[in-house]
Copies of this chain bind each other. A is one copy, B any other.
Amino acid sequence: MVTASESDRRMRRRSAVRDRILDAAWRLARRDGVAAVSLRNLAREVDLTQPALYSYFAAKNALYDAMFAQGCEQLLATVTERRYGPEPRQAVKQMVADLVRFCAADLARAQLLFERPVPTFEPTPESYQLAIRFFDVGSELLARAGASDPAHRDIFTALIGGLISQQISNEPGGDRWTRHADEVVDMFLDHVNRRKDSP
Contact = CB atoms under 8 A, between A and B. Distances in A.
Interface of A: 33, 35-36, 115-117, 119, 151, 154-155, 157-163, 165-166, 169, 176-177, 180, 183-184, 187-188, 190-191
Contact of A119 (B117, B165, B166): B117
Contacts of A188: 187
Which 8 A-B residue pairs are closest in the complex by CB-CB distance? A162-B162, A158-B162, A187-B191, A158-B163, A158-B166, A35-B119, A161-B162, A155-B180
Count of identical protomers in the assembly: 2
What's the dominant secondary structure at chain A's contact region? helix
A91 B184 CA distance: 23
Nearest to A34: B119
Q: Which of A159, A176, A184 neighbours the largest number of chain B CB atoms within 10 Å of its CB?
A: A159
A135 B9 CA distance: 60
B180 A151 contact: yes
A10 B5 CA distance: 79
